[in-house]
Structure 1
Amino acid sequence: MKHFTLIIIALITAAATAQGRFDDVQITVEKVTDHIYMLQGAGGNIGISTGKDGVFMIDDQFAPLSKKITAAIKTISDQPVSFLVNTHFHGDHTGGNLNFEAAGAMIVAHDNVRKRLAADEKTASAGLPVITFSEDATFYQNDDDVFLTHVHNAHTDGDALVYFAQSNVLHTGDTFFNGNFPFIDTDRGGSIQGDIDAAKKGLMLINEDTKIIPGHGKLATKADYQKYHDMLVNVYTSVFKAIESNKTLEEVTAMESITSEYLTDEESAKSFITGPKFRSTVYKSILENIEINK
């Protein structure tokens, strides 16, 4: 009985700690166009389209933030969330699915997002996408043609770009980290080449006037996005040459010169993805691709 009681106490403490880490999070609302907004708090950037068709939402951060996010949405619209798009399956973009589903939102995502959420015992029973697509989908919401397109094996194996055609706004999900090195989840289908291809596809969709909501970081421009793409290409090229020169993973991980043009290791030391971590990921991703294509 004592052992059981200790387990219960531990579970309650863990739940309280998880909730507590979000207590001080503030949800900020940034106007992007006359009816599109970017919300930031903890986790991935949220996109919101408002209008006569209701609220069209992209990503939803963590479950404990749903009430704060809902309150923030109510400052810009009195309509309910009609559709919720998950740009990929990671918890900082899908953690609120169950809460928004319960409030009436219809969840939309790539096929692989549903598969990965369904395979996770924490998310298998509810909050799953009820509409999925394999390549592209288009929604007609709030006077925008909203184009969803799958980008293969980029940040994960289920990423989607979301482009509001008439408003000229692009949400990239985590295929674009503005101002930081990206997290490429190679264990779940992500790859450096796929991330490059995703940026290339996104750049083809937009023009100089497009406003870009990245997965993380500040609202971006095409110039920011192009810089990110070029960084990915240059790092890929440098690491590939190092592999051809028989450099080991440890050696490449230590080669700050590969990435210092963009961020020094000191500048990225407190980031989720540091310079050494990024170089290591690129090395492993390239090597894996070489093995696959042998």
Structure 2
Amino acid sequence: MFNKTILAVAFSLAAWSAHAQEHPSTFIPAGGYASTTGAQYIEPSISKAIQPTQKISKLTERNFAGDTVVQKLSEHTYWAQTGFYNVVFYVGKDGVLLIDALSDGSGAAILKAIASVTDKPVTTLVYSHGHADHIGDAPLFVESAKAAGRTLRIVSTDKTAEKLAYLKSTLPKPTETVAFNNGEFKFEDLTVRAMGFEHPAHTDDSAAWLLVQEKVIHAPDIANPDQMPYLAFGGSENYTYLPGNLQYIANADWTVFSGGHGNVGARADIAFMQSYTQDLEAATGNALAKVDAGQYFKPEFNNHQASAHAWHEAVIEHAMKLLRPKFGHYYGFEASVPNQLDLVLETLTSYK
């Protein structure tokens, strides 16, 4: 997804508020956004675990206001969000396990969030995948551990370590790796499992990370709970494998889902995404049948790329009209769904 620097430049709170006053209905449906799963909205709590039917209230407003939200998920595990990005951390007997470090200064907010729960240092950091917007502030946690007299343990899958090496990443290298396909490591008494996707959609090293005993799963950019997916499915490299990735997560043993963005998630959020992708494909198929490509491939367009672009736009417009009655009142529909339809269109027209 976007990094926080871009967010800060493009959507300062003052600019966003001014835009909202001038264009009150640009993106917000009449009556406000609806919950994608019919959730009950609650105030965040570090002492009371959230239930599968609950979501954090006013999450968009809290993010735009610069707040950091902390929510207890299970006996030892917490969820923290700042700048529309979230992490998961586990408080052990001797230290804290953190999945993802965020970037562009957000790591400092996460350190404060952890300090609001415990005075124990972060001793283990997991790289969920190699995208810098989720792990770019790793050096801050190296220094924080050092200040506490500890050496930070950094864990990733072998695929993420390989990807970072290939890219000549300047981020701290993992101190140890686990197998991409169901590799495990221990953090005190907790088992942490890397559930690498057989065919990842987001990026080639994308994995879901399962805190086994806590039944919490963290899989960035696969689903944004209580929102439509972000732009092109969170910057996914392709759509083709996304339905399979969602089914893989659905088949796992967990109770709470963390998507790296959006609200705290539950099984209903994965079910929503599975239903949504089916509707995307159906709407795109309908549009392909209704929109005649031949009318756009004419000499007056001057080149075939312009023709293809016009045809794509017409297909997407038709599909948007089909989807709007069901999904138009959800957060992100108007801004993001055209990008998703474009990816679905590429998949449906590329394979037979």
The TM tier, using the shorter chain, reads: 0.7 to 0.9
Segment of structure 1 superposing worse, 257-266 or 156-165 = 257-266
Q: Indicate how the Cα distance of structure 1 residues 287 and 170 shifts in structure 2: closer, same or farther if over 3 A, else same.
A: same
Separation (CA, whole Å) in 1 of partners of 2:235 and 2:332: 24
Q: Indicate how the Cα distance of structure 1 residues 250 and 227 shifts in structure 2: closer, same or farther if over 3 A, else same.
A: same
For residue 41 of structure 1, report the CA deviation from its aligned partner.
0.2
**Count of residues in Structure 1 that have an aligned counterpart in Structure 2:** 269
Matched residue type, 2:187? Q
For residue 140 of structure 1, report the CA deviation from its aligned partner.
2.3
Matched residue type, 1:171? H
Separation (CA, whole Å) in 2 of partners of 1:111 and 1:241: 42
> Normalised by the size of structure 1, how large is the TM-score?
0.77
Structure-to-structure mapping, 1:128-143, within 5 angstroms = 128-132=173-177, 133-143=179-189
Q: Contact conserved, 1:192 with 1:286, CA < 8 A, in 2?
A: no
Separation (CA, whole Å) in 2 of partners of 1:232 and 1:94: 28
State the match for 1:4 in structure 2. Answer: none
Alignment counterpart, residue 284 of structure 2, candidates 223, 239, 258: 239
**Does 1 or 2 have the higher relative contact order (CA < 8 Å, sep 6+)?**
2
State the match for 2:119 in structure 1. Answer: 78
Matched residue type, 2:250? L
Q: Deviations over 1:48-88 (max 9, x none)?
A: 11112521111122231222211211222222222222222
**Which SS does the other structure have where 2:194 is aligned?**
strand
For residue 128 of structure 1, report the CA deviation from its aligned partner.
3.5
1:252 is the counterpart of 2:293:
no
State the match for 2:327 in structure 1. Answer: 263
Q: Indicate how the Cα distance of structure 1 residues 119 and 242 shifts in structure 2: closer, same or farther if over 3 A, else same.
A: farther
Q: What's the C-alpha RMSD, in Å, of the aligned pairs? A: 3.4
1:150 is the counterpart of 2:191:
no
State the match for 1:6 in structure 2. Answer: none
Separation (CA, whole Å) in 1 of partners of 2:263 and 2:236: 26
Structure-to-structure mapping, 1:106-255, within 5 angstroms = 106-118=153-165, 124-132=169-177, 133-151=179-197, 152-183=199-230, 190-206=237-253, 210-240=255-285, 242-243=287-288, 248-254=311-317, 255=319
The structure that has the greater radius of gyration is 2
Q: Contact conserved, 2:228 with 2:333, CA < 8 A, in 1?
A: no
Q: Name stretches of at least 5 consecutive residues in structure 1 with no aligned partner.
A: 1-13
Q: Contact conserved, 1:55 with 1:80, CA < 8 A, in 2?
A: yes
Q: Indicate how the Cα distance of structure 1 residues 269 and 176 shifts in structure 2: closer, same or farther if over 3 A, else same.
A: closer
Q: Indicate how the Cα distance of structure 1 residues 108 and 166 shifts in structure 2: closer, same or farther if over 3 A, else same.
A: same
For residue 155 of structure 1, report the CA deviation from its aligned partner.
1.8
Q: Indicate how the Cα distance of structure 1 residues 232 and 66 shifts in structure 2: closer, same or farther if over 3 A, else same.
A: same
Matched residue type, 2:72? K
> Normalised by the size of structure 2, how large is the TM-score?
0.66
**Which SS does the other structure have where 1:173 is aligned?**
coil
Matched residue type, 1:129? P
Q: Indicate how the Cα distance of structure 1 residues 239 and 161 shifts in structure 2: closer, same or farther if over 3 A, else same.
A: same
Q: Contact conserved, 1:181 with 1:278, CA < 8 A, in 2?
A: no
Q: Indicate how the Cα distance of structure 1 residues 41 and 186 shifts in structure 2: closer, same or farther if over 3 A, else same.
A: closer
Structure-to-structure mapping, 1:4-15, within 5 angstroms = none
Q: Indicate how the Cα distance of structure 1 residues 30 and 187 shifts in structure 2: closer, same or farther if over 3 A, else same.
A: closer
Alignment counterpart, residue 279 of structure 1, candidates 331, 341, 344: 341
Matched residue type, 1:86? Y
Q: Name stretches of at least 5 consecutive residues in structure 2 with no aligned partner.
A: 13-62, 146-150, 294-310
Q: Deviations over 1:141-174 (max 9, x none)?
A: 2533222111122222221111222222222221
Alignment counterpart, residue 92 of structure 1, candidates 126, 129, 133: 133
For residue 220 of structure 1, report the CA deviation from its aligned partner.
1.7
